[in-house]
Amino acid sequence: MRNQHSTRSIFDISRSGRRSTRFPEHPANPEMSSVEEAIPAEFLAEEMAPLPELAESDIVRHYVNLSTLNMSVDTHFYPLGSCTMKFNPKRHERLAGTPGLIDMHPYQTAETSQGMLKILFELQEMLAEIAGLPAVSLHPAAGAQGEFTALLTAAAYFRDKGENRTRVIFPSSAHGTNPASAALAGFECVQLKKSATGLVDIEELQAHLDDQTAVFMITNPNTIGMFEPEIGRISQMLHDVGGLVYIDGANMNAILGKTRPGDFGGDMMHYNVHKTFTGPHGAGGPGAGPIAVRDFLADYLPAPIVTKQRDESGNEVYGLSRPAKSIGQVRSFFGNVGILLRGYFYLKTLGAVGLREVSEQAVLNANYLLSQVKDFLPVPGGDVCMHEFVASASPVLKDRGISAMDIAKRLLDYGVHAPTVYFPLDVPEAMMMEPTETESKSTLDRYAALLRTIATEEDPEMVHSAPHTTPVCRPDEVKAARQPILKATLPATGVDEPTEEPLVTRSV
């Protein structure tokens, strides 16, 4: 049961003199100098940082209660499109914490890391196979960093060939990370116009292609849930002008074991391990964004790469190496290993057949849901989708004044997380829904019925003013942006007892 009064800040519940973590004193030793002897006064803090003072029980109650104010995959249906909010198997969380994996220092010698390196090497191989692209770097920390890394890899390749290619092209429906990554990597961004079909307009793309074109970034299946049927031709067009095709791997959940980016013309791609391979999303991260590329790009990949050799006695020996013309590193140390491990566990427990079934069931679930909502929430992409689809609340807005955001908020009242709203940008009143393969038909039936109830709710005001049952309702974002409050009032060091804790701080 939710504790409604846990909404004060951790600073408010602080009481001077409370302690949680304590350390033993070093036993007196004549050779142990004090900090004041070891470090000149000019470097030493004059006062302690104004951190809160709490007992462990204060902390547990506060954060456990706060956690219950969240919707999550473990507690609610979470059809947040493009985010692939699938169930996270619990064993994988436990295994990632195995002593001997979770507590390895990144600078240990290869000799003391053989078990870990073997896992990471096998993961590299599996990701290459699933992508149909032979060279993999596990290094990037997230999908967006994977994009950025691959674009720098491409830039290094072109530079090496003596070509000065400055332009990256993407469709208007692209994830915001695509243009942001291209700009960060120093490329000029070209956005294609919105097309009537939602697919790439071949003629418009052709008009932008020349010897300045570096990369075309495309999500396939695309952001409205369609497989681009002309992807072969598109890839050929890019290759004809010497450019490269980048596949944004955000939607890989739809095609695992069915088709591969390397087979349909992609030259580079990233994975979102936290989406496709069940590293949980962690309230915003961490993820991991490994990239896979064609053989001619392998030499430019960031370091380090895991390698396998045989020693004199024929035993397998794993090590780390730097590709010959590597762009270097895009972060320190190896990568987000803890998340990569969860991906490895997932692939091991599924195998090829299990993995293909993931996509089959994800696509079945999405199409079933589409079939249940399309009569009142039209789907511009058509009657068949891949693992997600974008419905439009335009008719509901027109007829009843209920917007996509209204529907999203009202869903929260019924214990369902909202779909992604207002993305992609080129579908009006967009609601992007992705049920994933780990939901059942009955959940989808209930969700479709809820959407119908909301779209036809007798009193539209109930929808406009929703949600009614959540801890808060429709925050004032304009006020938040105009008068930003970005931290709690910090107590002056050593000052005690602000006010007594009221029993109820929130009207329920």
DSSP 78: -
Examine residue 137 and tell whether it contacts other proteins (CB under 8 A): no
**Near other proteins in 96-135, by CB under 8 A:** 97-109, 112-116, 118-119, 126, 129-130, 132
Residues pairing with 269 in the sheet: 247, 292
Residue 502 half-sphere exposure toward CB, CA atoms < 13 A: 9
Instruction: Output the smallest distance, CB 309 to other proteins, in A.
Output: 16
User: Between residues 310 and 487, which has the closer beta carbon with respect to other proteins?
Assistant: 487
The correct pick among 21, 313, 315, 499 for binding other proteins (CB under 8 A) is: 21
Distances (CA, A) of 508 to 12, 316, 385, 468, 475: 21, 63, 41, 10, 16
Number of residues that bind other proteins (CB under 8 A): 209
Q: Give the closest residue to 267 by CA, choosing from 250, 292, 242.
A: 292
Q: Which residues of 219-238 are buried (b: 16+ CB within 10 A; e: fewer)?
A: bbbbbbbbbbeebeebbebb
Examine residue 195 and tell whether it contacts other proteins (CB under 8 A): no
| Interface region with other proteins, contact rule CB under 8 A, candidates 292-300, 307-315, 365-373, 393-401 | 365-373
| Interface region with other proteins, contact rule CB under 8 A, candidates 225-233, 238-246, 309-317, 495-503 | 225-233
Site string for other proteins, 263-292 (x = CB under 8 A): xx-------x-x---x-xxxxxxxxxx---
User: Between residues 323 and 467, which has the closer beta carbon with respect to other proteins?
Assistant: 467
Q: Give the closest residue to 183 by CA, choosing from 135, 208, 226, 147.
A: 147
Could you tell me if 258 and 229 are in contact, meaning their C-beta atoms sit under 8 angstroms apart? no
User: Between residues 83 and 398, which has the closer beta carbon with respect to other proteins?
Assistant: 83
Examine residue 475 and tell whether it contacts other proteins (CB under 8 A): yes
Could you tell me if 437 and 252 are in contact, meaning their C-beta atoms sit under 8 angstroms apart? no
User: Between residues 157 and 298, which has the closer beta carbon with respect to other proteins?
Assistant: 157
Tokens in use for 376?
Answer: 């009142």
Tokens in use for 344?
Answer: 């490895």
**Near other proteins in 344-363, by CB under 8 A:** 345, 347-358, 360-361, 363
Q: Give the closest residue to 80 by CA, choosing from 255, 257, 253.
A: 253
**Near other proteins in 74-103, by CB under 8 A:** 74-76, 78, 80, 83, 85-89, 91, 93, 95, 97-103
User: Between residues 384 and 462, which has the closer beta carbon with respect to other proteins?
Assistant: 384
**Near other proteins in 199-218, by CB under 8 A:** none
The correct pick among 142, 224, 433, 463 for binding other proteins (CB under 8 A) is: 142
Examine residue 474 and tell whether it contacts other proteins (CB under 8 A): yes
The correct pick among 269, 377, 412, 463 for binding other proteins (CB under 8 A) is: 412
DSSP 415-472: TB---EES-STTSTTEEEE---TTS-HHHHHHHHHHHHHHHT-S-HHHHHT--SSSSS
The correct pick among 317, 384, 397, 462 for binding other proteins (CB under 8 A) is: 384
Residue 176: which residues within 8 A CB-CB, separation 6 or more?
Answer: none
